[in-house]
Structure 1
Amino acid sequence: MEAVNKILLVDDVDMNLVILSQIVEEMNFVPLCASSATEALEVLRNDLPQLILLDISMPDMSGVELCKLLKKDVFTRDIPVIFISAIDSYDQMAAALEAGGVDYIRKPFTPENVKMRITIHIKMRNMQKEVEDVNKKLNQVIKKQMEVSRNRDRIFAIGFENMVMKKDVVSKHILGSESGIARIITQAMQFSDVFEEDITESFIQDMEAAATMHDAGLFMMPESIMTSKELTAEERKLIERHVFWVDEYLDIVKLHNNEFNDDYYDILSQVVKYHHERYDGSGYPYGLKGKEIPLAARIMAVVDVYEALVNDRVYRKALPVEEAIKFMVDGKNTLFDPDIVDILVKIHKRFEK
């Protein structure tokens, strides 16, 4: 814990420590004295001063090297370090400041100069701490507001899903277990060397919520098309338009709602618009391929097809899980991102739980 009204003096010349001690005492500070870098580190284990006056030339370790160590330590990195040295060299001064020093006083020094520098840098440090405290409080407020906004967006997604689910029995197969599958797969991706840097907790939550709306545009389809066992070319083209309808609606919602969470909106828009793209470029609506397809959409493509295979549809019965997994594996690098399919293969038994 930082010790208020204490200044650490580090110098291997006893007389310098005596003089500097008198100066800081006149300023109502308590001097903590060390005659070497080793002693200084020992003092810092017990006391964290407001400021350090540091000599450069010392027997065991130079002041520059000591300063570098202090700036790497989370407990001492923010303590202002003023170098005080008889070395009158531009290169040495540059090295001292580059190591993290805030100022450089040349010996011989005057008490007035030392007092002025100490006063300036302690005031600057106090102002910096005030700004840090304000920023910390602001970040806490922003975090709470983002969580409120994120929850509101999820309620919007679930509400839209519920509206779709009321349409007819067929629509129950449009939306449903995909959100749970998306969550489990995305959680597993956190532990993959391929995806660990891309997957955060907020991404997992947003992906789970977005999955509930991935095919919500089908709600706008005529019931005759949704219950048809065989589609005409015109009907298939119409169905392919469903990826745009929800996305257009989301644009309107975002335009009229400044609190709509941007990160969630981006993931939701990607899932809705691109989840029918295929890894080899054979999908729709844009024919994107490989990593051109956003990650959220590549995940949703795997989730969507797997969920469809293992559940009944109006045009066929559900496949056994083993056959569905074989279909997914056969689709690696053509239909699906191979790394996501590999994760599906490893964890698909968790879906049954």
Structure 2
Amino acid sequence: MNAKPLAVDSPPEKPMILVVDNTPGSQAWVQHLLEDLYEVQGAGTAEATWAAALSDSPPDLILLAAVLPDADGYAVCRKLKANAKTRDIPVIMLTADVGAVDDHMLFTVGASDYIAKPLSPPTVRARIKTHLALKGAADFLNDKYSFLQSEITARTREANAIQDGTIMAMALLAETRDADTGNHIRRTQLYVRALGWKLCNHPRFKTYLTVANITLLFKAAPLHDIGKVGVPDRILQKPGKLTPEEFEIMKTHTTLGRDAIAHAELELGTEVPFLTMAREIAYCHQEKWDGSGYPQGLVGDDIPIAARLMALADVYDALISRRIYRAAMSHAEAVKVIEHVKGKHFDPDVVDAFLEIHEQFNAIAMSYHDSDADLQKKADFLELSRASTPGELS
């Protein structure tokens, strides 16, 4: 039986050295000196240097004469370092007179080193070896950095997706207990974001409503009613007006929501801007501008900005949504109601912003309206839950 030939690894590619010198004899001398260790390519002009550096197989290092027939070598080096495709190629200047070398000029144009003529073979080989090793280390670190950056991006995207999914799951947990809410979460998210963008350049709001905070506002909005998980079914799902005693229990959803989020912050042991905003929204979105809201009776600017925007979005959506005990208002009717309580229930400037973009609210409501089928499915789910669960959540 014939034995298979042994596999032979292909030899590693030799680094490419570009020698730029308009003296043919110098090029030949350097090529002979380096050809056992490197691939050597020659160029005699700035134009040829530039073409070689930008080719599909650029050199790993350039030996560049300080004087060329069509350009100054320092100018060529400066141009190489100014281009993103060639700036990482080490350049060693070759100068005829060491006494005329201006160190400041060399490093200003970006050269890595220089060698004085007449060239010394040991010096040429040592300098090239040193700068190729430095370039190899830099390339390795750049590759590692790029890899780490891509990993960080991927992990951040994954963490954000997990966060968004968790937020929505928590919000839906509260929502599933109320047959009337439908797509309330998605609509109010979009309402508050629209208000945020409208007010982001307003003198009273621009410091707070940054791009980052508007993003957090959009994410935190679904948790505004998370505390309703702790409200008994007999109150939350009552098909009529609540008694004063029942309403007092309903009002506790703001405190329950705040406490749940505050507990999460305590467990984490560090301040998280998203949770801070979510806590403010959950606790304060029922406050009113004139101090008649709950649970604290805050007045005016004492109400957190995020909660002020959430309050208007929440009320608008409640007005245009059908309830067991009343029909939905039209968009025009809801706009009139909100305008009527400007400066009473809502921050006047927030209402003015709403009035300027109220058609956006209407478009959002139309895009995410609750169909009869959706509401029926929700009602059926609640009936099934009540039938299968003894007692009530309290």
Query: TM-score if structure 2 supplies the norm length?
Result: 0.63
Secondary structure, counterpart of 2:348 in structure 1: coil
- In structure 2, the CA distance between the partners of 1:249 and 1:41, relative to structure 1 (3 Å rule), is same
User: In the TM superposition, what is the alpha-carbon distance from 1:37 to its structure 2 partner?
Assistant: 2.0
Match of 2:161 among 151, 154, 159: 151
Q: TM-score, normalised by structure 1?
A: 0.69
Q: Deviations over 1:67-100 (max 9, x none)?
A: 3333343322222222333465899433432333
SS at match of 1:76: coil
What is the alpha-carbon distance in structure 2 between the residues aligned to residue 52 and residue 40 of structure 1?
9
Aligned match of 2:83 in 73, 85, 94?
Answer: 73
**Distance verdict in 2 for CA 1:61–1:209, change over 3 Å:** same
Do residues 44 (structure 1) and 58 (structure 2) align?
no
Provide, for residues 147-200 of structure 1, a one-character-per-residue CA deviation record: whole Å limited to 9, x for no partner.
44333333322332233234444xx54x843335535875998999969x9658
Query: What is the deviation of 1:124?
Result: 1.7
Q: Give the equivalent residue in structure 2 for 1:267.
A: 274
Backbone CA RMSD of aligned residues: 5.0
> Is 1:29 matched with 2:38?
yes
Is the aligned partner of 1:110 residue 2:120?
yes
In 2, are the aligned partners of 1:243 and 1:273 still within 8 Å (CA)? no
Secondary structure, counterpart of 2:54 in structure 1: helix
Asked if 1 retains the 8 angstrom alpha-carbon contact of 2:339 and 2:351, the reply is no
Distance in 2 between residues matched to 1:149 and 1:289, nearest whole Å: 34
What are the equivalent positions in structure 2 for 1:101-250 lying under 5 Å apart?
Answer: 101-169=111-179, 172-173=180-181, 176-180=183-187, 182=189, 199=211, 209-221=219-231, 228=242, 241=255, 244-250=258-264
The separation in 1 between residues aligned to 2:274 and 2:173, in whole angstroms, is: 21
- Determine if contact 1:178/1:307 at 8 Å carries over to the other structure: no
Q: In 2, distance between residues paired with 1:347 and 1:11?
A: 70
**In the TM superposition, what is the alpha-carbon distance from 1:119 to its structure 2 partner?**
0.8
Mapped contact 2:187–2:364 kept (Cα < 8 A): no
CA change 1:306–1:168 in 2 (3 A) is closer
Query: Using the alignment, how far apart are the partners of 1:218 and 1:69 within structure 2?
Result: 66
Matching residue of 1:251: 265
**Which of these residues, 29, 39, 43, is aligned with residue 19 of structure 1?**
29
Instruction: Report the count of equivalent residues.
Output: 335
- 1:116-141, CA deviations, whole angstroms, 9 ceiling, x for partnerless residues? 11111111222222223333333444
1:99 to 2:109 alignment: yes
SS at 1:67 equivalent:
helix
Q: Which moved more, 1:82-91 or 1:9-18?
A: 82-91
Matches of 2:93 and 2:223, distance apart in 1? 61
CA separation in 2, counterparts of 1:334 and 1:266? 26
Deviation at 1:316, TM superposition (A): 7.3
Q: 1:22 to 1:245 in 2, by over 3 A?
A: same
Unaligned runs of 5+ in 1: none
Amino acid at match of 2:92: I
In the other structure, the counterpart of 2:371 is none
Counterpart residue identity of residue 110, structure 1: S
Name stretches of at least 5 consecutive residues in structure 2 with no aligned partner: 1-12, 368-394
CA deviations over 1:190-212 (Å, ceiling 9, x no partner): 999969x9658xx86x7655332
Distance 2:100 2:190 in 1: 59
The partner residue of 1:336 within 332, 337, 350 is: 350
Cα offset for 1:213? 1.5
Deviations 1:243-286 (A, max 9, x none): 6323213214535xx9xxx9xx53343234257589x9989978
Query: What CA distance in whole angstroms lies between the structure 2 residues aligned with 1:137 and 1:319?
Result: 55
Supply the distance in 1 between the matched residues of 2:183 and 2:218 (Cα, whole angstroms).
11
CA–CA distance in 2 between the matches of 1:192 and 1:17?
67
* Structure 2 CA distance for partners of 1:184 and 1:107, relative to 1, 3 Å: farther
- Indicate conservation of the 8 Å contact 2:265/2:275, yes or no: no
- Aligned-residue offset at 1:221: 4.9
Contact 1:53 1:83 (C-alpha < 8 Å) held by counterparts: yes
Rg larger for:
2
Does the 8 Å CA contact 2:189/2:219 hold for their aligned counterparts?
no
Q: 1:111 to 1:219 in 2, by over 3 A?
A: same
Between 1:323-332 and 1:77-86, the stretch displaced more is 323-332
Distance 1:58-1:333 versus aligned 2 partners, 3 A rule = farther
Answer yes or no: is the 8 Å Cα contact 2:16–2:41 preserved in 1: yes
1:230 & 1:138 partners in 2: Cα distance? Answer: 59
Counterpart of 1:349 (choices 343, 363, 370) is 363
